[in-house]
Structure formats: structure tokens, C-alpha cells
Chain A
Amino acid sequence: MQLSAENLACERGGRTVFSNQNFTLGSGELLQLTGPNGSGKSSLLRLLASLGEPSHGRISLAGGAPDMNPGQQAHYIAHSDASKSALTVTENLIFWRDFLGGGDLMRAMQAVNLAALADYPAALLSAGQRRRLALARLALVPRAIWLLDEPSVGLDESAQKLLAALMNGHLREGGLIVAATHVPLGLNPDKNLHLGGTP
């Protein structure tokens, strides 16, 4: 499987956020996106998630399901955690499992160390725990491509290790990860893309 971007440019509200970006990412590779605030890291992830059209250039995926766009084969962990305060941890995950197509609930909760809070309403979770609930989707539903937007925000040291282990496991199974981050994720990225001028 190979995800590649050619000559990619993104425009938001008439302003060019970035232009002329190229990369190729193969199975089992991690691409780390860096750059200052507003340099377009999130915008690039949204383009990869097929949540928008690049103003120039194209994104292509080789070796995936031919009738699906890259976004449909990807997990996208954005800043918002896509969980409902009124539902318990388990109910939130059951919904995403059924909606996104199957997975092992217990394994997902253990992967982010939320099993002890399974019957807790998400409203009572701390910011870091909510982040872990969002990350549990990664372990819950198999998807080849992971698009992570600052996945480690709000996580404590042990949760960051869990995240690194989760990402490592995915890479070993031949998955692709694109992660935007300001802090080291505890993994050695195979590729680096710095947006917004010279590093």
C-alpha cells in the first residue's frame, strides 16, 4: 500500500496555506508532520482524510480498496474527540464499532487503559481520558491509514507510552501513519515533512 501526494497545495479562505508538497508513504511507515501553528498540518491531514479538495495537485493511494477514497480507509483523530458526554465509555465505543464496522471492544479499551472506566459516563472523564477514548477507535476498528492530529495532547507519560505502542503495533502490521505533532511521539519517524518554511 502506498499513499502519495504530488505537488499538493491547500487554500483556505483565499489564503494559500501550503503549496508544492510531495511525499510518498509506504506500508509500515510513519510520516511526521511538523511546523509552526497555522502552517497547515491539520489542513493537510483533512485533505488526506478526503475532507476537502486540494486547490492543486493530487493525493493517490495504491494498493488499497479500489472503490474507496483514502479517507474511507483511514482513521482521523482530530482535536475534537467525537465522543458523547451522555454515553458511557462502552456505549461510545460500541457506537463507533457498529458504525465503522466491527472490532474487539475489550482489546480497544485495554489498549488505551480505559477498561476500568468502561461504565463511566464520558462526561466524567478528564481531558486526557477523553483523548484516550478517542484514540481507542484506532485499536477498535482496523483501518490501514491513521491520520493523527497531535495525538499526544493531554496524555500523561504512561498514556503516551500506550500511544507509542499502539502506533508501533500498527506499523508492524503494515499500516501507514501520518501524525502532526509538536512533541516527539516516542517513535522514529520514517519520514519528516516540515510545513511552513525552513525548520
Chain B
Amino acid sequence: MKLLLALLRRDLILAARQGGGVGTALGFFLTVLVLLPIGIGPDQVTLQRLAPGILWITLLLSVLLSADRIFQQDFEDGSLEIMVMAPASLELVALTKAIAHWLSTSLPLSIAAPFLGILLNLRTEIIWPLTLAMVLGSSALSLLASIGASLTLNLRRGGLLISILVLPLYVPVLVFGMSATTGNPEVIAPSLLILAAITLASLVLAPIAAAAALRAYLK
């Protein structure tokens, strides 16, 4: 347990010091949100209708932006080999690194995103359901991203490939994340529950998949 906390702390410090963490992702997010109304046009009704979908898709892309960092640097500088050798369970190491990515990138983004939605004339009554759905879904996003990151370990510039591998896995999160923002109270609660279920399932399965990929690369 202590060793996982040490790993979590180190990854969070590295995310804060090296840049490319939440600051960059938020900047990307904001830039897309500013560009979209220019592309779509200033019609407030259209923007309001599209806002939740735009926010979700931008969130998915921003999370993937830094996904390759989850394992890549540790692979390149040899840290990962030592982690694989250590008596610690590799599944828990992979889980810890996904959690560090969630805490440093996905979680802050998912909290900020709905409020940035004001730029798109997002209906104020769905800000809270959207925030809740994004916070719930974002942990699944980081966990699934860790699978993609582990599969593209020895590819330099594997970022694009991660997107192709992981985006299909994001479809369930997107579907139920969107249905939580319909504004219909009867749909919100079940959607949030299903999002929670997706998160729990990825919590169990993603570290197993990521650890298997890491082993395949390093052994």
C-alpha cells in the first residue's frame, strides 16, 4: 500500500512539474470551445442543443491528449522495468498510474468542463447533472486510456494510435453521459447509475488488461 501511495505521489508531482498535465488539457479544451461557435455559427439555439455533445467529445479528446504519458516515460527511462521486477502486483501499479492520470487530468477537466459550457450557452439546469456524469465517467476514461497507453508502449508518438484504440471503448460512456444531460429527471438517475457501473467494470478490467500488455512488452 505504501509503495502505491509513493507511486501516486510521484506521478502527481511529475504531472504538476512537467507540464502537459491539466493546464495543457484545460487550454486545449478552452481553445476548442472558443473555436466551435466560430465554426458552427453564433445561433444560440443551435449551440444550446449541441453543447452537451460538444463538451463530452472535447472531454474525451482532452483526456486522450495526455494518455500516452501514463506509461511511456517510465518505459523510456527504465523505471517500468524495475516496477515490473518488484514484488508489487503489476495490476495495482497500472491501476495506481491510471488513478494518477485521473486525478491530474480527467477529474479537474470534468469539473471545469460544464462551467466552460456557458460559452456554448449550455442550459444552466443541466450543469449539475452534466458535472456529476462527467466526474463519474472521467474515471472510466482514464482507466480505459491506460489500456491504450500500455498497448502503444514502445511506439514513439503513439498518441494517435491510442485515440484509435481507445475512442471506440469510450462509446458507452458517451452514450450514457449524453442521456444524463437530456434534462428529463426520469432518465438522469438510471444514466448516472449505468455510468457508475461502467466505471466499476473498468476499475476491475482495465488494470488487468494494461498489466497484461505491459508484461507482454517487457518480458
Contacts and interface: CB of A to CB of B under 8 A. Distances in A.
User: Are A and B part of the same complex?
Assistant: yes
Contacts of A51: 81, 84-85, 218-219
Contacts of B2: 98
Interface stretch (A15-23, A83-91, A109-117, A151-159): A83-91
B77 A101 contact: no
B86 to A, nearest CB: 6
Interface stretch (A30-38, A69-77, A187-195): A69-77
Contacts of A68: 87
B104 to A, nearest CB: 13
B81 A78 contact: yes
B219 A99 contact: no
Assign chain B's interface to a size class. Answer: 20 to 34
A87 B85 contact: no
Nearest to A92: B10
A95 B4 CA distance: 10
Given A53-B219, A101-B3, A91 B13 contact: yes
B85 A82 contact: no
A5 interface: no
Interface string B16-55: 0110000000000000000000000000000000000000
A99 B78 contact: no
Interface residues of A, number: 27
A108 to B, nearest CB: 15
A198 interface: no
A34 to B, nearest CB: 23
Contacts of A82: 77-79, 81-82
Nearest to A97: B6
A84 B14 contact: yes
A72 B5 CA distance: 20
Contact of A74 (B6, B78, B85): B85
Contacts of A98: 2-3, 5-6
B118 interface: no
Contact of A50 (B6, B85, B88): B85
A81 interface: yes
B119 to A, nearest CB: 33
A100 B10 contact: no
Interface in B113-136: none
A143 to B, nearest CB: 10
Contacts of B81: 49, 51, 76, 78, 80, 82
A120 to B, nearest CB: 14
A84 B13 CA distance: 11
Contacts of A74: 85
A52 interface: yes
Contact of B219 (A52, A86, A96): A52
A72 B85 contact: yes
B13 A87 contact: yes
A101 B82 CA distance: 13
16 contacts: A49-B85, A51-B81, A53-B219, A68-B87, A72-B85, A80-B77, A82-B78, A82-B79, A95-B6, A95-B7, A95-B9, A95-B10, A98-B5, A99-B86, A99-B88, A101-B87
Interface of B: 2-3, 5-7, 9-10, 13-14, 17-18, 73, 76-79, 81-88, 218-219
Given A49-B81, A76-B81, 7 more contacts: A50-B85, A50-B219, A51-B218, A52-B219, A53-B219, A76-B85, A96-B82
Across the A-B interface, give the 7 residue pairs with the lowest CB-CB distance, nearest first.
A80-B78, A98-B6, A82-B78, A86-B17, A82-B79, A71-B85, A99-B3
